[in-house]
A = this chain, B = another copy of it.
Amino acid sequence: MAVYTDVPPEELSRFVGGYDIGETVSCHGIAEGVENSNFLLRTTRADFILTLYERRVNPHELPWFLGLMQYLAGQGLSCPRPVADRAAATLGTLAGRPAAITTFLHGAWPRDIETFHCEAVGAAMARLHLDGAGYTAERRNSMGPAAWPPLLDACRASGDQVQHGLVAELDDALAFVGPSWPGQGAHPALPRGQIHGDLFPDNVFFIDGRVSGLIDFYFACTDWFAYDLAIALNAWCFDAHVAFCPDRARAMVRGYESVRPLGAEERAALPVLATGAAVRFLLTRLYDWINTPPDALVTPKNPLDYLGRLRFFRALTTPPEWL
């Protein structure tokens, strides 16, 4: 949760004046998103989200992200739609940072996850996968399997201080997942396209039990559709004690397949994809845990939440009964 950047009022006013969206009424930092600074921008016309891109986002990749959001919104998906300024540009500069204004989505993300949420997010994800088909520009997943060994190496010195034996367990997991990944050796490639890549509960808004919008597309990339589902199984289908909730997983898959049925190869690959997703979030959280100074504004997330998930998915027989 973070607002990193303060925007001087006169700079804000000049920036907003470049858009045909009315006069600024108020602009408040909001605690959504840990990667960028987000503001609720209220004008005489409507509410908007103003995003200042902080570290972690390569400015040269912003056009891909904003282009995807614009494309998906045009397909009827409920996601933030970048607003073009008077010169037709969706990206500007504010307070020395790349900045964009997007439409405001109503709704709230679910604090207490129930089965129906999982079914709904499965369906919304499948729609995103179908809707993205006409956005042909590709973005490789910079946090895919190739990125994991160097991350683990960077955690080698301190990883076992977080939990004894963690580094060896991660070595073992990488040795299993790497050669088992779709497209490696005899493992077939899977249907692929634009995926969200980070469809955690705080990125899905609900109103009255129905999905009202998907946000935060800054991990989106072009990858296996089933990997997006594998990430969401990690993110939604465990309780606070990291116990797997088969009802949630069953509902999520059912919701997904109500829109886009999974192929046999995707189904067979889900356990290894879900194991890989657990490794990916365990590694990035471990890395942040080790590298976040005690006085930082951002509280790192506990990596060990993902160790339980990793163990669960690695132990799966194929196919698990909930699939």
Determine whether A55 belongs to the interface, using a CB cutoff of 8 Å to chain B: yes
- Number of residues on chain A facing chain B (CB within 8 A): 52
B154 touches A62 (CB 8 A): yes
A9 smallest CB distance to B (angstroms): 17
* Contact flags A151-163 to B (C-beta < 8 A → 1, else 0): 1011011100000
Q: From A141, which residue of chain B is reached at the shortest CB distance?
A: B140
Near B by CB (< 8 A), chain A positions 255-295 give 284, 287-288, 290-293
Complex Cα gap A287–B60 (Å): 8
Cβ of A112 under 8 Å from chain B: no
A96 to B296, Cβ gap below 8 A? yes
- CB of A93 within 8 A of CB of B55, answer no
Q: Known contacts being A98-B291, A158-B87, A292-B93, is A64 close to B150, with CB within 8 Å?
A: yes
A143 to B137, CA, bound (A): 12
CB-based contact A153/B291 at 8 Å = no
Min distance, Cβ A298 to any Cβ of chain B, angstroms? 9
Cβ-defined contact, A87 with B147, below 8 A: no
- Bound-complex Cα distance A91 to B293 (A): 12
Known A58-B142, A139-B147: A63·B292 in contact at CB below 8 Å: no
Give a binary string over A5-26; 1 marks a CB under 8 Å from any B CB, 0 the rest.
Answer: 0000000000000000000000
Cβ contact within 8 Å between A142 and B61:
yes
- The listed residue (B59, B91, B157) touching A89 by CB distance below 8 A is B157
A291 B139 Cβ-Cβ under 8 A: no
Q: Does residue A88 face the partner (Cβ distance < 8 Å to B)?
A: yes
Bitwise interface map of A from 39 to 65 toward B, beta carbon under 8 Å scored 1, else 0: 000000000000001111111111110
Residue A146 at the B interface, CB < 8 A? yes
A38 adjacent to chain B (CB < 8 Å): no
Q: Please, which residues of chain B bring their CB within 8 A of the CB of A222?
A: 146
Q: How far is the CA of A40 from the CA of B176 in the complex (A)?
A: 43
Identify 5 residue pairs between A and B in the complex whose beta-carbon atoms are under 8 Å apart, listed by A's number: A89-B154, A90-B154, A136-B149, A137-B146, A139-B146
